[in-house]
Structure 1
């Protein structure tokens, strides 16, 4: 568990990355924690270090994506602290890698932002050096001259750097010394050196203790006992033409493929000069699983699976043993470099997908973040991403460390197309090239960008006067290309007046279905024509509306009888006796409040037979003498 001082010593590296045109900003943090840190160990104030508001990391759904199957880390969404979730053993997690990095992707939504965070697992000295065997038996001829060297099995320590093996010590001996060679601070060979000639008759057995020390604090050690038996036998060991060989083999090479042919000689004759080959006892088991060695010819061939993505280099130690009564051994090393072939297609993962996409999203909006990884190396592992259909309004842009962003490259219109199927293909540059595709289903969400539309902006209706109050006289109807609440319509009558009287006194409308009702019984003799303005508005944000002008004509019916003007019940007219036929006696006039045909009149005498002395004009109402 890190204390407070160690918290302050945690290394944090900020790398400012290129601001892209899309709304996901990428940056990087680098934390270092020691291995074996327990659950809850503080790693870093990730929200603060990334410049995120702690109050919104929960609402923005901050989450961590790791390529590893195990989730070693977790973020406390209350305080933005990254802590250890699973205990990490560096030797298990990174057995063949000097630097152990766990890459994390920190993603927040609304808007989408992605950050790259590396957590370096620092080695601690939690492993003691261990020899392959606690006891080593060596047989040495007394004829071996001073300066002869004998390879020893080195100890193994899975720790790194100074925590690994830095020194060997041999117990005091008059005959033997210890020599080891370092390369880049790593002990690569361990040999027992004969300081002076042995004399079996004086001492036939030498017991030595070999101790391996690491450089950790506290220093840890391991021991192995060496028992040397002195015999007077074969005095020439096989010798390779060179102590070190290099060769290469392509991964996925067929079983039986020849990797290398060894060559050694022995100055002895007969059986003492006959040589057989075998893997050194210092070889790890993984070598013997992959390679076979013909003990007679020295041919190294493929026996198992060669996979560049698992192991890139094999260091094989070979012993050449003569067939003397007391066999002598020569040693060499063979470095086998594995050459990568393009045998792994890219791996594609959608780490963030923001759907549905609003139809009014601006160009450059990030729709998805895609992580692409290829386990091959070089050109075989270099991957590009593209969209199969170039007509789609989307672009693929490279982001950071194998990530790509799918961004909007053109306008969207849900009323034309409400969904897209985007096929994203990741292709490496190997030969032949390998690819993988993923289909993204992207829905387009509606925004209120279409106002309700009447079939026509002006309409005309005719109503017969004396209609019953409350009668249905018209139905307003609109269509809206939007969907959902953006297409929910409410109807209303815009305030106006008819001859000083509010329109609401005459008309009403059902806000849900647009049915218009007459609140009063109309009288053509009072109102012949007026206009009603109807408004249709949706409930989108912001709401959109349109208007309809309704011309309303009140049709006349014959509901008024003609009346004489001025009104009289009896009219007395005096005519001189000298009046002649055809002379105008008088003229009567009547009016009718109706209009049109209902107001046309003709005049007639009531209850007067044709014998009377007067005649009346049906059209003008003039009364004249008939005789």
Structure 2
């Protein structure tokens, strides 16, 4: 029957097997003791009477890496039916049977013939058979048993993931975790301390430590400086047997990279740089580059540059080249050699990404002086003022009258003669002349402000000994007004009134125009002309805002008596001298309905004839007679023409 494994029986069997191997117990004693282990307690004999029992063995062990010259005894299989007379033959089959493991057919002793490695195979499963030697009939049912390979410390710890690379920021505090290393041991972790690993640092222990149990590497100092040393090579050892003497060990290399923090300020290699630029260089021209160095790396070296002095900031601009981190100094405003030949520009470099943890290590900015020397170029004359000139002249000025003087000079040398001229494309009528030496502008023609109030001309100045050095300026000439135009009514005014108009009724409001343009503005005065001073029908009211109103003076008008009134109005300006003119307001008398709406402003012929005076009737009669005479004369001529043609 198959064996049943019991915890106490296993211990007893192993112990007896070891004692037998050492020669301290006889085989019969072992067989007798072990024989009872294959039975349940109720099957154990209660007396010395022999009882048939079956297979007798327990689990077998064999130590790995056996180096002896003789086969290594493993154990014994035994049937309790064996009387020791050699009638039973024992056989085994299964893993390694007949090659790795051999059995003595008579005694049942099993030996290992090869050196075993637990790390390759930890146990072997075999089957045992007991047969009658003569008949070969099985005496016991075939039963399975296991031979376990017992571990010895023959495998050293190995770092399977090495070599390792880790990183830690410079200036990190002591005890900062860097990374973790891990070694494995092929020995049996459940048996003894063969696979119990501890860690230690062989090289680099001054700067880093490793936790003996976990393999976590930490910083041992707080002054790691990337700028001094940017990486460390550690050798970490793993030892089994918990580090006890005789344990095996393995090691690995750990590279720890020190990453950068912004703990270094920018510094200019020089305290002064010198550049030269021509005064004729255009705005935006680069005059040179400077750079501040930084012991840090990456974005911690990114720079911003500033111009710190007021004069330098007005004339120059500084920008940062994103690729090279250089300061590019360019011209912001045109330079003038004659005004200043040397400029000392204070340029400051500042880190863009300042780490607030390290600002106390020093100022994170630095300054240098950039000396810019301006070189001279031959320049054309410059006008004073340089942006154009405004002149004024009265419109009644005489021919040859002085309008104004333009001035120019050579910016390079004093007392260089300058010659002036007027660009005739801007003065095609040659209204103005200019003295080529003095720059005096005079009148060449009589002016009329009412025709043109402004004249814009261009004056050219050239060096007398170098005609290529020329410049131009705009001269605007304003023609000042004189009062040479009388005021006039704005339009030929006409107005209408109803026959039943009341006294004081406003008929019309009039205004005037004046082609003159006095600097103090217009002021006009209105009165009725002297020939209308005896007028009893209308009055004029000066409103004092350069307009006047016409009102009725009486009530009731009769268009049959007079349907049109002509009112002369005198307008006077404020001079000097005061000028005046007379205009006429035509007033029509009209028939209106009861609401005051005008219906008709024409008198009928019947009403007109009945209302005519005797003198008017005589004049009308004479006209009729003349018309009749002309008609008769025309008829006579027609008859005469007919007779002539006949």
Given the two structures, how large is their TM-score scaled by the length of structure 2? 0.39
Q: Comparing both structures, which one devotes a greater share of its residues to strand?
A: 1
Question: Which has the larger Rg?
Answer: 2
